[in-house]
A and B are shown apart, each in its own frame.
Chain A
């Protein structure tokens, strides 16, 4: 589905990603874990075309996308829920969802997906005329994920969806990530600091440190890896 080959990204003179290689197969949940400032968000922003890829290749189903503009990448079915949710605070919940479907023209499909996200998160249906900024953190995360789903993505990029949320809400969010993956066969690339939860729902995982991938393995093996346990699982 998606392949990063020797991807390098820099902010001015700061090299944020150095030769990142990773592969995500269709239908998988793959997680990327790492400490603060390791380069997780930069990886997603590079895939989405927001931050330019300095060197290397990003292949989506074999097609090079590293030089495409962000809207073209969305049109190819890659959607991101960025860190911090980025809700359009002054727009209503409904308008936020409509913007998720900005590039779509199939009215019937959009309506169907609207009902689908309302069924996943009934609270959003209840609050649909309320402005996005008035929602709680958990509700905003639900809205951000729903907005991405409204684009009917083939590959969903999630940046720390559990950040700042209560444990019960986190559990709910992770269950829904699993459900989206199962029911719609949506491929998911999940960036997390919450390594424990992430590795439990993922098929495979990568560990990033200082802009380099230092480990790649199946999720089970990473959970039992002593280095990972010490550094990221607090065991």
Chain B
């Protein structure tokens, strides 16, 4: 029974990170009907950015909490810049082209970004610093759920609640929902649809970057290809959870344990 709970908790942790990444797929799909294959690479770039920032800061001896926050913010900003740019150069010019064209462009962007990081950084696995310590108060239940699992679950919950608030109640959130439902009508009420699309890419990329930081510190190593694999998993989650906002949040945490569980059963 303990073993089951342990699997369930670690599956839930992984699942909630994949959900963060999956949100980027569903949001973009909802707004422009494109499966953004480059999204996994945005997550990978987030992981690399947080790796670089965290390593530098730890050399200077900053406290762990500060490192986590600064690395997370830096990764979110840097990944958002990539997401924004990818949309502008690879998708926007093809907005009125047949659907296959931006899809191919997305695959191209994915390959380009992977190889760019491969050349600019390294092809080796890099050891990611352990950013989340074992808390003393977690001792009694540490055999079931680790401290990093708790931090990850709390972080993803807070981020998703914030996103839900943004989508439901803010001006940009309303504009996003309107654009997803009826682009022509969104234009006719005066919504700047280009800006909504940019905002969607920026938000989705920031979420992926946070996912990148969390998962990298959880697993302990990164390389240039992690985006591809995570991308496929998150994309699967997005499809299984339904390509809608709320669906991906609720769909993935369930499929997380399942996936992990099946994985363990298969390999043991």
Contacts and interface: CB of A to CB of B under 8 A. Distances in A.
Q: Which of A89, A91, A98, A99 has the most CB of B within 10 A?
A: A99
B153 to A, nearest CB: 30
Contacts of B177: 88, 90-91
Measured as residues with beta carbon below 8 angstroms from the partner, the interface class of chain A is 20 to 34
A151 interface: yes
Contacts of B175: 102
B166 interface: no
Contact of A88 (B171, B185, B187, B193): B185
Contacts of B193: 71
Contact of B191 (A49, A50, A86, A102): A102
A75 interface: yes
B98 interface: no
Contact of B188 (A48, A75, A89, A95): A48
Interface in B78-126: none
B178 A99 contact: yes
Contacts of A74: 188-190
Chain B interface helix/strand/loop/mixed = helix
Measured as residues with beta carbon below 8 angstroms from the partner, the interface class of chain B is 10 to 19
A190 interface: no
A50 B184 contact: yes
Contacts of B185: 82, 86, 88
Contacts of B58: none
A80 B33 CA distance: 25
Interface string B172-185: 00110110011011
A70 interface: yes
A71 B178 contact: no
Given A95-B174, A99-B174, A102-B175, A71 B190 contact: yes
A86 B192 contact: no
Contact of B189 (A50, A69, A90, A100): A100
Nearest to B180: A90
Q: Which of A48, A49, A88 has the most CB of B within 10 A?
A: A88
A80 to B, nearest CB: 5
B182 to A, nearest CB: 5
B191 A89 contact: no
B188 A86 contact: yes
Contacts of A89: 181
A79 B185 CA distance: 11
A151 B189 contact: yes
A149 to B, nearest CB: 12
Interface in A84-118: 86, 88-91, 95, 98-100, 102-103
Contacts of A95: 174
A57 interface: no
Q: Which of B171, B175, B177, B178 has the most CB of A within 10 A?
A: B178
Nearest to B192: A71
B178 A147 contact: no
A114 B188 CA distance: 19
A151 B185 CA distance: 14
A98 B171 CA distance: 10
Contacts of A102: 171, 174-175, 189-191
Q: Which of B184, B185, B192 has the most CB of A within 10 A?
A: B185
Interface in A125-170: 147, 151
Nearest to A81: B188
Interface in B180-232: 181-182, 184-185, 187-193
9 contacts: A50-B184, A69-B192, A70-B190, A74-B190, A79-B188, A80-B188, A95-B174, A102-B174, A102-B190
The 7 closest A-B pairs by CB, nearest first: A74-B190, A86-B185, A70-B187, A103-B190, A71-B190, A71-B192, A102-B189
Interface of B: 171, 174-175, 177-178, 181-182, 184-185, 187-193
Given A90-B181, A99-B178, A103-B189, 4 more contacts: A49-B187, A50-B188, A88-B181, A102-B190
